[in-house]
């Protein structure tokens, strides 16, 4: 139900006069709301600048330090025999292997049964002894089958695993296989089947890996060699006595290129967004919201300064332009010739790395930019934090101003309505008097005529 405006029912004056007076009082509030909308829009736009800077900073994590920049991989002349994985900074080089024997786990195999889940295997106790571990006991209840025993062993999680295999050799094809979860000479398993019908015999003896590394015999309990070359794990897949395998630890140029491309893309996203702020829109004839904002210009100047200039690398390359990365003077974007960057990495990987990373006595491009972004994001004086904090304060003040003005409008509206209601009452009284007088004078005129 709407609020009745004075004059709406009596018709003594136009109620739109009251509405128009109230609308006039609303004008300062509407102006304050428009100012707030403008500030919020500017804040949202600047928040995108912050997010783009954060995205750029993330890409620097794979470029700014030596351990981040250097990507290495293992290349093997016989990857089906041995390959490897680099797990940190390692020395590049070529190594020779000969795999004479794989590490094996000890296996114990029980004699056969006609099925795996129907024929009882007896009852009693099974004692499983393991090297360097406590013995554990399996209680075999009457009516237990091969599958029941395998389940009990596996549920114990005791360093051995059991499975029922179907050998297809009749009449008793099903056999219980117990395997040590560790390989090597020391990972021995011994099973005492007690009074059950199970009888085990050693199927495979455990043995260690046997490898020649640069003509030096090396061994291990499993088929991974982790301590031959720092931060490299060699994975031995099969034995091939007499075959010499050449394993190279080399720079992974493709992966390094991916990191550089990722950095260029994020840099260009930021540069494009800021450059677009200064382009005049053909329809509105206006530039972007941040076109007049000094903080935005500061952000772009800081990141641009990081990519310019030379870096003392001591190698073949000293500037980004030498390896194929240049700056477009019109847009501020970085243009990258991937083929040239790739060739530069192939020719002098260390020099390209020094162009980006933090070194003793100098900062490369990525390290410089990381420092610049750190300053931009500083909680106290960083332009990103300061700008957004200031705008939040302005918006909060606008909210308070709007709230006060709306309260004042409520009071003003009531005051206008009261005054016009009183005026309406006065006009109504005057009208009643006028009607009364008109009626009396009308009657008197009739009497006089008679």
Q: Looking at residue 1, what is its pLDDT? A: 39
Return the axis-axis angle of helices 16-60 and 365-376, rounded to nearest 10°: 150
DSSP string, 189-218: EEEE-TTSS--EEEEE--B-EEEEETTEEE
Cis, bond preceding 136 (omega within 30 deg of 0) = no
Please give the Cα distance from 237 to 211 (Å, whole number): 12
Sequence length of the chain is 450
Cis, bond preceding 171 (omega within 30 deg of 0) = yes
Q: Are 372 and 302 in contact (CB under 8 A)?
A: yes
Residue 137, beta-bridge partner list: 127
Task: Label residue 63 exposed, middle or buried (CB < 10 Å: 0-12, 13-18, 19+).
Answer: buried
Please give the Cα distance from 105 to 188 (Å, whole number): 8
Q: Are 334 and 325 in contact (CB under 8 A)?
A: yes
3-state secondary structure 251-296: ECHHHHHHHHHHHHHHHHHHHHHHHHCCCCCCCCCCCCCCCCCHHH
Phi, psi angles (nearest 5°) of residue 316 = -75, -30
Token pair recorded at residue 103? 């590490």
Q: Are 153 and 172 in contact (CB under 8 A)?
A: no
Closest by alpha carbon to 198, among 179, 178, 176? 176
Tens-digit pLDDT profile for residues 130-160: 766 777 888 888 888 989 988 988 888 878 8
Residues sharing a CB contact under 8 Å with residue 228, sequence separation 6 or more, in sequence order:
95, 213, 218, 234
Tens-digit pLDDT profile for residues 344-394: 999 999 999 999 998 877 889 999 999 999 999 998 889 998 999 898 999
Alpha-carbon torsion angle 137, 141, 146, 152, nearest 10: -40
- Edge-to-edge, what's the strand order for the sheet holding 232-236? 82-86, 232-236, 224-225
How far from chain centre, in Å, is Cα 255? 19
Please give the Cα distance from 315 to 351 (Å, whole number): 5
Q: Tell me if the pTM is above 0.75.
A: no
How do the pLDDT tens digits run along the chain, 450 residues long?
344 555 545 555 556 666 777 677 778 778 888 888 888 988 999 999 999 999 999 999 999 998 889 999 999 999 999 999 998 888 899 999 999 999 887 777 888 889 998 998 888 887 877 766 777 888 888 888 989 988 988 888 878 888 888 988 888 889 888 887 777 555 666 777 777 778 877 676 778 899 999 999 999 888 999 989 999 999 999 999 999 999 999 999 999 999 999 999 999 999 999 999 988 888 888 888 888 889 999 999 999 988 888 887 777 888 999 999 999 988 889 999 999 999 999 999 999 999 999 887 788 999 999 999 999 999 888 999 899 989 899 988 888 888 887 787 777 777 766 776 666 666 666 666 666 666 766 666 555 655
At residue 430, the 3 state secondary structure works out as helix
């Amino acid at each position: 139900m709407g609020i009745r405006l004075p004059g709406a029912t009596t018709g003594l004056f136009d109620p739109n006069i009251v509405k128009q007076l109230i609308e006039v009082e609303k004008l300062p509030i509407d102006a304050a709301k428009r100012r707030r909308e403008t500030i919020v829009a500017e804040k949202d736009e600047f928040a995108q600048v912050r997010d783009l800077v954060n995205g750029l900073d993330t890409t620097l994590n794979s470029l700014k330090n030596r351990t981040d920049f250097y990507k290495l991989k293992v290349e093997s002349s016989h990857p089906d025999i041995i390959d490897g994985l680099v797990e940190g900074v390692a020395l590049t080089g070529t190594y020779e292997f000969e795999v004479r024997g794989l590490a094996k786990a000890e296996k114990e195999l029980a004699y056969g049964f006609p099925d795996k889940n129907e024929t009882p295997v007896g009852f009693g106790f099974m004692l499983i002894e393991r090297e360097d571990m406590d013995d554990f006991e399996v209680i075999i209840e009457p009516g237990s089958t091969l599958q029941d025993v395998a389940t009990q062993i596996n549920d114990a999680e005791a360093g051995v695993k059991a499975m029922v295999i179907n050998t297809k050799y009749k009449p008793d094809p099903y056999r219980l296989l117990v395997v040590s979860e560790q390989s090597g000479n020391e990972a021995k398993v011994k099973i005492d089947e007690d009074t059950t019908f199970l009888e085990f015999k050693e199927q495979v003896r455990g043995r260690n890996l046997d490898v020649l590394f640069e003509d030096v015999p090396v061994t291990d309990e499993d088929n991974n060699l982790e301590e031959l070359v720092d931060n490299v794990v060699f994975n031995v897949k099969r034995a091939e006595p007499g075959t010499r395998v050449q394993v190279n630890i080399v720079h992974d140029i493709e992966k390094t290129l991916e990191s550089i491309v990722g950095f260029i893309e994020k840099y260009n996203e930021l540069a494009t967004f800021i450059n677009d702020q200064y382009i005049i829109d053909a329809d509105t004839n206006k530039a972007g919201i941040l076109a007049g904002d000094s903080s935005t210009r500061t952000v772009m100047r800081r990141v641009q300064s990081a990519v310019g200039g030379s870096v003392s690398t001591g190698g073949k390359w000293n500037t980004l332009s030498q390896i194929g990365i240049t700056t477009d003077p019109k847009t501020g974007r970085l243009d990258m010739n991937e083929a040239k960057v790739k060739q530069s990495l192939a020719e002098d990987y260390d020099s390209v790395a020094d162009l980006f990373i933090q070194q003793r006595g100098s900062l490369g491009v990525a390290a410089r930019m990381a420092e610049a972004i750190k300053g931009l994001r500083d909680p106290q004086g960083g332009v990103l934090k300061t700008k957004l904090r200031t705008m939040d304060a302005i918006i909060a003040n606008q909210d308070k101003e709007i709230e006060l003005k709306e309260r004042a409008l409520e009071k003003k509206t009531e005051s206008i309505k009261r005054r016009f209601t009183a005026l309406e009452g006065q006009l109504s009284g005057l009208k009643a008097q006028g009607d009364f007088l008109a009626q009396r004078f009308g009657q008197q005129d009739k009497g006089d005529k008679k």
